[in-house]
Amino acid sequence: MKSKARIVFFAFVFLAYLSSQSFGTTTVTSGTFLVFSTYLGGAPSVLSVTAGGFGLYVPVGGHYWQANCFYCAPGTVVHISGSAAGTDLGPGFANGLSVDWGNPNAPYESVISFTGPDIRLNHGAGNYIVPFSFSGALCGFDPGTGTCVVNLPYLSGQGTMEAVTEDRWNGTLFVDTFGYAFQTPEPGALALFGSGVVGLAGLIRRKIDR
């Protein structure tokens, strides 16, 4: 029975270890991303974040995003999710170093993606706040060396999106900016899970030893 107890104990300890690992994923710990409302659609602006020890400045252009409310009737459902990739991402900076985020000759394509719940403009002018999650891959390409001098192939993050809505004429609403603000994930959840698994393993081991 003791050998079985050891197997169960170490299995749970290994599970706790796995729960604390990110497997190469780099977390965006702070920063912002903006989408402006225009007559034609949501216009993405600049991704300015901190990740992997880098301060990243990534101009974002390309197609219009769903996050947009130029002339919106009350009750309108607005989608806040969106993505950009490749040449949608322009030349920018990483810790002050000039890099090209969207160079077609890069080893892999840079991409950013935001997902979150829709918002319904059901209480008139004011603030609408929802959570979002982020994933992406960023190659800060240097044409001179032909390499990613900033290599972040697995990015993740989370935060809150805030849309500040104003009244327009004829009862319509206007959102000037959709602001995505990154927040550092709380380590407490993983730590609590890991300690709980280890505690459960110890309890099981004692019961089996009896």
Phi/psi-derived region of residue 163, left when phi > 0, alpha when psi is between -120 and 50, beta in every other case: beta
- Band of the pLDDT at 186, cuts 50, 70, 90? low
> Global pTM?
0.79
Under a CB-based contact definition with an 8 Å cutoff, are residues 35 and 178 in contact? yes
Is residue 99 included in any domain, yes or no?
Answer: yes
- Band of the pLDDT at 146, cuts 50, 70, 90? very high
Cα–Cα dist 84/73, whole Å: 28
Q: What pLDDT, on the 0 to 100 scale, is given for residue 143?
A: 93
Is residue 7 included in any domain, yes or no?
Answer: no
pLDDT higher than threshold 80 for residue 69 = yes
Tally of CB atoms within 10 A around 117: 12
Is residue 174 included in any domain, yes or no?
Answer: yes
pLDDT higher than threshold 60 for residue 205 = no
pLDDT exceeding 70 applies to what percent of the chain? 77
Under a CB-based contact definition with an 8 Å cutoff, are residues 90 and 103 in contact? no
Is residue 83 included in any domain, yes or no?
Answer: yes
DSSP letters for 100-151: ETT-TTSSS--EEEEE---EE--S-SEEEEEEEEEEEEEEEEETTTTEEEEE
Question: CA 58, 59, 60 angle in degrees (round to 5)?
Answer: 110
Is residue 210 included in any domain, yes or no?
Answer: no
Structure confidence by residue, pLDDT tens digits, 154-164 = 999 999 999 99
Q: How many residues does the structure list for the chain?
A: 210
Is residue 20 included in any domain, yes or no?
Answer: no
Number of domains composing the chain? 1
What would the mean pLDDT of 59-80 be, rounded to a whole number?
94
Is residue 120 included in any domain, yes or no?
Answer: yes
Is residue 179 included in any domain, yes or no?
Answer: yes
Ranking 14-28, 88-102, 124-138 by mean pLDDT, the lowest is 14-28
208's tokens: 């089996």
95 secondary structure, DSSP code: T
Q: What pLDDT, on the 0 to 100 scale, is given for residue 210?
A: 52
Give whole-number Cα distances, 84 to 89, 114, 153, 188, in Å: 7, 9, 15, 32
Tally of CB atoms within 10 A around 210: 7
Residue 56's domain spans which residues? 25-187
Structure confidence by residue, pLDDT tens digits, 33-56 = 999 999 999 999 999 999 999 999
Element holding 177 (H helix, E strand): strand 173-182
The mean predicted confidence, pLDDT, of the chain is: 84
- Band of the pLDDT at 63, cuts 50, 70, 90? confident
Q: What pLDDT, on the 0 to 100 scale, is given for residue 117?
A: 98
Cα–Cα dist 67/58, whole Å: 19
Backbone angles phi, psi at 203, to 5 degrees: -65, -45
Q: What pLDDT, on the 0 to 100 scale, is given for residue 23?
A: 53
> Nearest to residue 16, comparing CAs of 199, 157, 187, 188?
199
